[in-house]
Amino acid sequence: MGSETENRKSLPMIDFNDENLKPGTQTWVSTCDAVRVALEDHGGFLAHYDKVDPLLNHSVFSAMKQLFDLPLQTKMQHTTDKPIYSYAGQRPDIPLYESMAIDNPLNAKSCHNYTTIMWPQGNHQFSESVNSYAKKVAELDYTVKRMVFGSYGLENEKCERLLESTDYVLRCYKYRTPEIGETNLGVRAHTDSGFLTILNQRLNGLEVQLKNGEWFQVDASPSIFVVLAGDAFMVWSNDRICGCVHRVFMNTEVERYSLGLLSYAGKVMEPEEKLVDEEHPLRYKPFDHYGYLRFFLTEEAVKAASRIKAYCGI
């Protein structure tokens, strides 16, 4: 009873370190269901995942500090044609917030190209740690998606096709400390516009809204990854899984860094046909993710009660 009450107040924690976590085992089956239920209930969960070595974690966060320490003009250089808003910051409503995006971080050459734009003289440590980090976190992303497909009884091939047509972005966030009289809001409550976001924060500050409306503060740890469903997951799941609402407050005296591996559908995506039935009639038209990202900041989108429904809801 006691633990049930406690559970409702926290985001579920799911262990991804168990040696038996392989397709075909009982641990795999029960974890698949735990992942699906957490996503259906809260749009997210905490993954206990220790495949990112503490040294790599340290090295990638040092790299982030170097990146944000660059002159603003350097940081604002255009690095991708995709509408992922490479640099974001200097916003009067959220003055503490800055963020930058590395497109296609699983590819060593893309990391190198990005690094060369930021440091024309080169910065091997940056490019190397970003690429290694993204690859490790992507393994968790693949596992989570395979588990969701498994738990809905969908064929593996379908999941592999989705993974193949997925584009990844590594988004880095920095929050400076507020000055006297300034807001301590880092980012206001929102859902992410991607498919799935996997976050690791250097310092506390992230809060996630639970199903019962309460806010849950996530504790920072190198081996705790916050897995959040985004708007595209709602489309794919035909609303069985909702985007996870989250926000950030700066409650510390030191600047805060956080890293997110975000996934986007590289091809037009439709709600999974097996998740459409009498009880769950079709809720979305075919969805063009980059079209959605372009729509995202328009006046029509900002005014809408739900941007994703305004874009492609039925």
**Based on CB atoms, which residue is closest to ligand AKG, 14 or 101?**
101
* Nearest residue to ligand AKG on Cβ basis: 258
- Half-sphere exposure at residue 178, Cβ-oriented, CA atoms within 13 angstroms: 17
Q: Tell me which of ligand AKG, Fe ion, none is bound by residue 31, counting a contact when its beta carbon lies within the kind-specific cut-off of 5 to 8 angstroms.
A: none
DSSP string, 241-288: S-PPPEEEE--SSS-EEEEEEEEEESS-B---GGG-SSSS---B--B-
Q: Tell me which of Fe ion, ligand AKG, none is bound by residue 248, counting a contact when its beta carbon lies within the kind-specific cut-off of 5 to 8 angstroms.
A: ligand AKG
| Candidate list 235, 248, 265, 308; residue touching ligand AKG; CB under 6 A | 248
Tell me the window of 34-42, 48-56, 114-122, 198-206 that interacts with ligand AKG (CB under 6 A).
Answer: 198-206
Rounded Cα–Cα distance for residues 269 and 142 (Å): 18
| Closest separation in Å from C-beta 262 to ligand AKG | 8
CA 174 to chain centre: 15
Rounded Cα–Cα distance for residues 268 and 47 (Å): 29
Q: Tell me which of Fe ion, ligand AKG, none is bound by residue 283, counting a contact when its beta carbon lies within the kind-specific cut-off of 5 to 8 angstroms.
A: none
| Candidate list 57, 99, 115, 151; residue touching ligand AKG; CB under 6 A | 99
Tokens for 164, please give them. 């193949």
Tell me the window of 42-50, 78-86, 199-207, 294-302 that interacts with ligand AKG (CB under 6 A).
Answer: 199-207
Q: Tell me which of Fe ion, ligand AKG, none is bound by residue 201, counting a contact when its beta carbon lies within the kind-specific cut-off of 5 to 8 angstroms.
A: ligand AKG
Per CB under 6 A, does 261 bind ligand AKG?
A: no
Q: By CB under 6 A, what part of segment 146-175 binds ligand AKG?
A: 173
**Based on CB atoms, which residue is closest to Fe ion, 167 or 192?**
192
Tell me the window of 45-53, 56-64, 184-192, 292-300 that interacts with Fe ion (CB under 5 A).
Answer: 184-192
- Half-sphere exposure at residue 87, Cβ-oriented, CA atoms within 13 angstroms: 17
Spatial contact of 226 and 46, defined as CB atoms under 8 Å apart: yes
SS in 3 state form for 88-115?
EEEECCEEEEEEEEEECCCCHHHHHHHH
Per CB under 6 A, does 246 bind ligand AKG?
A: yes
281 CB neighbour count, 10 Å cutoff: 10
Spatial contact of 100 and 187, defined as CB atoms under 8 Å apart: no
| Candidate list 98, 128, 141, 192; residue touching Fe ion; CB under 5 A | 192
The enclosing H or E element of 56 equals: helix 54-68
Point out which residues bind Fe ion (CB under 5 A). Answer: 192
Point out which residues bind ligand AKG (CB under 6 A). Answer: 99, 173, 187, 192, 199, 201, 206, 246, 248, 258
